[in-house]
């Protein structure tokens, strides 16, 4: 049923575009497979599938050197994205579906053991000048690296800071505002109230609600082509552009080990352990004349990190409190080849009994048509507890209609 539905959906998009040529906007590669606006301007739809292919070779360290290499190939991401407006350009929408195994993983009893297919299903209403109201499932206004689309990364994948500390997607509402203080000085304020347990949860709310606030300062004006939420300076900013941001997230009575992420903390009596978890992010995005830099700091702290059963014994679940730092810098040459270096450090709180992590990444990208068509490769060295644990070589291809 699921495969038949997706096939029908794709075929409808193709047929719709063919039969309604009078409303089709100018289309070229990278601007969507279908880009349709109704003749009466009452709605629009853009359909843009994308996928990422990846190859990797991995060497685990041992006392005398490294084990034999482990090789792999995978479809890292495969997604269908629909967006546009309905009734009025002030009422926009976005639907994004994931098809790869990575996108569909994470099912449990709280998602009715169904494929974790829906990434985004959100309505965005511009109800007044510089104000927007969002409702549905989408990314929370968290750390900048997470909000940057996986299609717009300058390395093969995001950092350890993001994988261990990000607050990801959730179901709820958001209020967003932009303040223009001068011709250039801009601030943005983003607030979210959400369920607190991540995407596609159907059995809830198990804990309390989740509250997120993000404040962004752009002292030198906005970035060209939304470059503050895209890695690499593909437009070569003519003047320096900076976005400095602070995010605070409070998950009240959280029931997962990583706030809205991680595993559920189930006690011996079948109930869920609950504790307040606060996550803080400070990040910086900078771009100028082909140079790009992204710096992030993250901190997670809980009221009671160790889950305790009703009889006072420890259940074995522990909230992964700690801090992380990530910094990466890249330079785009005039032939659209970019070199990137990244350093990431994760320090867990002692109570978690997790060893600290360090990771060094050196990457190269060739942008054939910006982020829409690119090939990438990088080398990653990971240290666990200060000792080399793994070295990995990765390469990948992004194709985004």
d(CA 210, CA 196): 5
Domain that holds residue 26: 2-400
Give the pLDDT confidence score for residue 21 in this predicted structure.
Answer: 45
pLDDT tens per residue, range 87-145: 999 999 999 999 999 899 888 888 888 889 999 999 999 999 999 999 999 999 999 99
Give the pLDDT confidence score for residue 329 in this predicted structure.
Answer: 98
Q: Which of 61-65, 187-191, 340-344, 381-385 has the lowest mean pLDDT?
A: 61-65
What is the percentage of the chain residues whose pLDDT exceeds 90? 85
Give the pLDDT confidence score for residue 106 in this predicted structure.
Answer: 84
Q: What is the dihedral of CA 97, 103, 104, 106, to 10 degrees?
A: -130
pLDDT tens per residue, range 255-279: 999 999 999 999 999 999 999 999 9
Say how many domains are in the chain: 1
pLDDT: is 13 or 74 the higher one? 74
Contact 305, 278 (CB under 8 A): no
C-beta neighbour count of 342 within 10 angstroms: 22
Give the pLDDT confidence score for residue 22 in this predicted structure.
Answer: 47
pLDDT: is 122 or 4 the higher one? 122
Contact 284, 247 (CB under 8 A): no
C-beta neighbour count of 300 within 10 angstroms: 26
Q: What does the radius of gyration of the chain's CA atoms come to, in whole angstroms?
A: 22
295 to each of 243, 266, 369, how far by Cα in Å?
Answer: 11, 35, 26
pTM over 0.85: yes
Domain containing residue 245: CATH number: 2.40.160.10
Point out which residues pair with 44 in neighbouring strands. 37
pLDDT tens per residue, range 208-237: 999 999 999 999 999 999 999 999 999 999
pLDDT above 50: residue 20? no
pLDDT above 90: residue 248? yes
């Amino acid at each position: 049923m699921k495969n038949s539905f997706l096939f029908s959906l794709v075929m409808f998009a193709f047929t719709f575009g063919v039969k309604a040529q009078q409303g089709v906007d100018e289309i070229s590669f990278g601007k969507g497979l279908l880009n349709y606006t109704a003749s009466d301007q009452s709605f629009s739809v853009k359909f843009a599938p994308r996928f990422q292919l990846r190859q990797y070779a991995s060497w685990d360290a041992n006392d005398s050197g490294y084990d034999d290499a482990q090789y792999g190939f995978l479809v890292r991401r495969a997604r269908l994205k629909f967006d546009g407006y309905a009734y009025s350009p002030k009422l926009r929408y976005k639907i994004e579906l994931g098809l790869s195994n990575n996108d569909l993983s994470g099912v449990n009893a709280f998602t009715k053991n169904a494929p974790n297919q829906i990434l985004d299903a959100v309505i965005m209403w511009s109800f007044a000048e510089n104000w927007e109201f969002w409702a549905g499932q989408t990314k929370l206004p968290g750390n900048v690296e997470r909000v940057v689309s996986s299609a717009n990364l300058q390395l093969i994948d995001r950092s350890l800071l993001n994988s261990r500390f990000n607050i990801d997607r959730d179901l709820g509402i958001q209020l967003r505002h932009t303040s223009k203080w001068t011709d250039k000085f801009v601030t943005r304020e983003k607030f979210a109230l959400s369920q607190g347990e991540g995407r596609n949860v159907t059995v809830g709310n198990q804990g309390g609600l989740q509250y997120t606030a993000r404040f962004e300062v752009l002292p030198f004006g906005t970035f060209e082509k939304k470059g503050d939420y895209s890695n690499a300076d593909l437009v070569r900013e003519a003047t320096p552009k900076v976005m400095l941001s602070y995010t605070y997230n409070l998950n009240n009575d959280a029931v997962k080990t990583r706030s809205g992420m991680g595993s559920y903390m189930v006690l011996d009596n079948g109930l869920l352990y609950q504790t307040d978890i606060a996550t803080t992010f400070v990040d910086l995005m900078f771009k100028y004349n082909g140079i790009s830099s992204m710096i992030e700091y993250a901190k997670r702290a809980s009221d009671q990190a160790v889950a305790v059963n009703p009889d006072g014994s420890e259940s074995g679940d522990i909230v992964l409190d700690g801090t992380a730092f990530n910094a990466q810098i890249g330079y785009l040459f005039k032939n659209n080849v970019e070199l990137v270096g990244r350093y990431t450090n994760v320090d867990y709180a002692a109570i978690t009994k997790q060893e600290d992590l360090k990771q060094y990444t050196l990457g190269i990208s060739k942008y054939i048509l910006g982020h829409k068509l690119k090939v990438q490769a990088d080398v990653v060295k990971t240290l666990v507890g200060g000792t080399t644990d793994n070295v990995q070589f990765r390469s990948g291809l992004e194709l985004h209609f």
